Amino acid sequence: MKISIILASLIALAPLSASIANAETSIAPAYSNQEMIDATWALANVTDDALDLASEFSRDHGIQATAAGSYINDLIGDTNALKHAVQRLADKLTNHAPRHEIQNELNTIETKYQAVNRNSTKVSTQLYSQLKTLEGYQLRTAFTKIRSRYVYLQAQLAE
């Protein structure tokens, strides 16, 4: 008699335990909509474009031994870290990762974005002061695209 009551209780609780086990996956997709995934990949793409431009300037525009050259190396490192964090976020969103993993990646992106924004201003200012106005303008434009995509991604998070 007692065994049948215990079995009946376990059978009755099975759907509840299954829903508790799946709670993590039911929370995560709130972050994961297609517009947010697309916004994340768009940020990754413009970050990659800006990284390519900064790398080209570092190699080919005679600024290696200048203040701009020093700043651009920092910018390249920060931009590369931002690109990888954004790509990881896009993968996590696509694969419906747990909310805390997505939030950790968003925190990393915020930190890296701030460093990229700060360093891109330093580099473009130095390029302007060295009369490399075209390079300064191109760099500022490339990193402004990162800023606009980052702001758009933030708007997707707020929805």
Write the pLDDT tens digit of every residue in 30-76.
556 888 999 999 999 999 999 999 999 888 767 777 788 888 999 99
Higher pLDDT, 124 or 14: 124
What pTM does this model have? 0.76
Please check whether residue 3 lies inside any domain of the structure: no
- The pLDDT of residue 66 is 79
Residue 16, in any domain of the structure: no
Residue 62 to residue 57: CA distance in whole angstroms = 8
14 located within any domain: no
Check: CB of residue 143 under 8 Å from CB of residue 114.
Answer: no
Q: What is the predicted pLDDT for the residue at 157?
A: 79
Query: What is the pLDDT, as a whole number, of residue 91?
Result: 95
We report the CATH number of the domain holding residue 103 as 1.20.120
Q: Is residue 7 part of a domain?
A: no
Residue-level pLDDT at 60: 74
Asked whether 143 and 112 are in contact (CB, 8 A), the reply is: no
Distance CA 30, CA 124 (A): 38
Q: What pLDDT sits at residue 3?
A: 53
* Nearby residues of 148 by Cβ (< 8 Å), 6 or more positions away: none
Predicted confidence band of residue 22 (pLDDT cuts 50, 70, 90): very low
- Extract the tokens encoding 89: 């976020």
Is position 116 within any domain? yes
Tell me: pLDDT of 1 over 90: no
Place of tokens 């995934």: 37
* Distances, alpha carbon 115 to alpha carbons 80, 118, 119, in Å: 11, 5, 6
Q: What is the DSSP letter of 22?
A: T
**CA gap 150, 144 in Å, rounded:** 10
* Residue 5 maps to a domain: no
Structural domain of residue 74, as residue ranges?
Answer: 33-158
Quick check: 12 pLDDT over 70? Answer: no
Average pLDDT over residues 95-107: 92
- Residue-level pLDDT at 27: 38
In a domain? residue 58: yes
What residues contact residue 10 under an 8 Å CB cut-off, 6+ apart?
none
> For residue 119, what are its two tokens?
């360093």
Q: How many folded domains does the chain comprise?
A: 1
| Confidence at residue 59, expressed as pLDDT on a 0 to 100 scale | 84
pLDDT in tens, 103-153: 999 999 999 999 999 999 999 999 899 888 898 999 999 999 999 999 999
Q: Concatenate the DSSP letters of all residues of 95-107 into one string.
A: TT--HHHHHHHHH
Residue 105 in any domain: the answer is: yes
